[in-house]
Structure 1
Amino acid sequence: MRKFYKFFKFLTFSFVLFVFMSSPKSVLAAPINEILSSPNSLIVRIQERIESFFAFNMEQKIVVLEKQAERRLTQAENLAKTKDVDVDKVLSLIKSYETLKEKQGNLIKVASTTVPVEVKEQTVQQQARIEDMKEDMSDDAKEIIEDSQRTVIKTMMDNIEDSGVEKDEVTEFAEEIKNVIDPGSNIFAPGTLEVAPGSPEVAPGVKDVKP
């Protein structure tokens, strides 16, 4: 199995290198870190298709979606730290992160499997990182981000509850989330551990990033 994964990594690297070398000059002119990390990059899209193709069982599919969601969030973080922040692009990446986490949640639900501990832990950490990104953003941007947060958190809580575990585990997860988010946010209904209803509208003008 280890030899297979080594071969798979070599195959992926070789294919990505081939695509990179045969890409148009306009693509090669982009910063190398953007080419290798941006979800809209041709190379990243190919890489993610390969990852998904070789995810043969449900556990692997869940891990792949987590990896891809993490990639979106990391890119959003990097953009949020730049001097002239492209807020629309940050919001779009977070929306893409939400879509992938929701897709992951649907897989967990269909498989009737227990939510992996790593996924729960990473979701808590991811929400803490999103809180850091929100600090210097406008109220409108924060509202859009919090819509995504509510979707991700509610999906995870429903998955934990549906997996047949003790109700305490749902409460524990909600408390962990509540401990890392700003008390002034509108993620949870006041005085409860229930996720507040989301906004039915998404602000216009947000650039699209494919999930």
Structure 2
Amino acid sequence: MHRILLYVGGIVFALFVIMSSPKLTLAAPLGDIFSSQDSLFVRIQERIEYFFAFNIQQKVIVLEKQAERRLTRAENLVKTKDVGQALSLIKSYEILKEKQGDLIGGAPATVLDKAKEQTIKQQARIEDMKEDMPEEAKELIEDGQKTVIKTMMDTIDDSGTKEDKDEATEFAEEIKNVIDPGSNIFAPGTLEVAPGTSEVAPGVQDIKP
């Protein structure tokens, strides 16, 4: 209880600093302060969400919601041609999905099924975003896609049973159906995720997950 009170007290103090700082509030529109995923306010809000998710299932759901926020904002930024910010948010999405993958094995099967379904839809949305980006940005995004897809496949095939392997294969096939056939996400002629790189494009901002 004492730990929770200290945590909440620290959050209240941080919010007070944000709202009472003229430089911060004037530096960006109020809407950005309360909606931009790289704002301190939103980071604090998301940490509260995760802190009060008291079991694995709730934490997985919270991470999914936060990942969705990243993609939605990235989609809006792509429309305004802000490629650097969009790439940063997609990278942040990737980190959240990796974190989710580390937890999801301990959640009920229905939670894993929902995460798989969401991941497929999210990858399709990322493909749409890539259409409006330069080639260098597409390559960086594909590295992130490889990480997310491989994480989910490894999570599905965690036990190594034939049933799980078949399920992982089915997931890979569904993913392959929504991505550009000319992408380098899967090794040619296989359902194996191709090796990636860890390069960061110039101008990509470091946005914490």
- Which band: TM-score by shorter chain? 0.7 to 0.9
1:96 matches 2:95: no
Q: Kindly indicate whether residue 28 of structure 2 is the aligned counterpart of residue 42 of structure 1.
A: no
On the 8 A contact 1:79/1:90 being kept in 2, the answer is: yes
CA, structure 1 residues 172+23, in 2 after alignment: closer, same or farther (shift >3 Å)? Answer: farther
Partners of 2:195 and 2:140 lie apart in 1 by: 13
8 Å Cα contact 2:19/2:25 also seen in 1: no
Q: Match for residue 180 of structure 2?
A: 182
In the alignment, is the contact (CA less than 8 A) between 2:78 and 2:132 conserved in 1? no
C-alpha displacement of 1:48: 0.5
With 125-134 and 167-176 compared, the bigger mean Cα shift is at 167-176
Q: CA deviation at 1:139?
A: 1.0
Equivalent residues in 2 for 1:25-174 (5 A)?
25-29=22-26, 30-82=28-80, 85-109=81-105, 111=106, 114=109, 116-163=112-159, 164=161, 165-174=163-172
Instruction: Find the aligned partners of 2:16 and 2:66 in 1 and give their Cα distance.
Output: 20
Distance 2:22 2:125 in 1: 35
Distance across 1 between alignment mates of 2:16 and 2:189: 53
Corresponding residue to 2:21 among 21, 24, 41: 24
In structure 2, distance between residues paired with 1:19 and 1:86: 31
Q: Deviations over 1:21-59 (max 9, x none)?
A: 834234434334322221111221121011011100011
Change (3 A) 1:23 1:81: farther
What's the offset of the Cα at 1:87? 1.2
Alpha-carbon distance in structure 2 between the residues aligned to 1:141 and 1:151: 16
**Residues 80 and 133 in structure 1, CA contact (< 8 A), matched pair in contact too:** yes
Q: TM-score, normalised by structure 2?
A: 0.84
Alpha-carbon distance in structure 2 between the residues aligned to 1:23 and 1:69: 29
- Equivalent-residue separation in structure 1 for 2:112 and 2:134 (angstroms): 34
**1:20–1:43 CA contact under 8 A, matched in 2:** no
Contact 1:19–1:43 (8 Å) recurs in 2: no
Q: Is the 8 A contact 2:94 2:145 kept in 1?
A: yes
Partner amino acid, structure 2, of 1:157: M
TM-score normalised per structure 1: 0.83
Residue identity opposite 1:24 in structure 2:
S
Structure 1 unaligned regions, length at least 5: 1-10
SS state of the match for residue 152, structure 2? helix
State the SS of the aligned residue for 2:175: helix
Report the Cα distance in structure 1 between the residues aligned to 2:44 and 2:20, rounded to whole angstroms.
13
Distance 2:133 2:184 in 1: 15
Identity, % of aligned pairs?
A: 69
Tell me the amino acid that sits aligned with residue 22 of structure 1. M
Deviations 1:103-136 (A, max 9, x none): 1111224x37646211111100100000011002
Structure 1 residue 201 corresponds to structure 2 residue 188? no
Deviates more, 1:32-41 or 1:120-129: 32-41
How many Å apart are 1:86 and its aligned residue? Answer: 2.0
What is the CA–CA distance in structure 1 between the aligned matches of 2:53 and 2:187, rounded to whole Å?
37
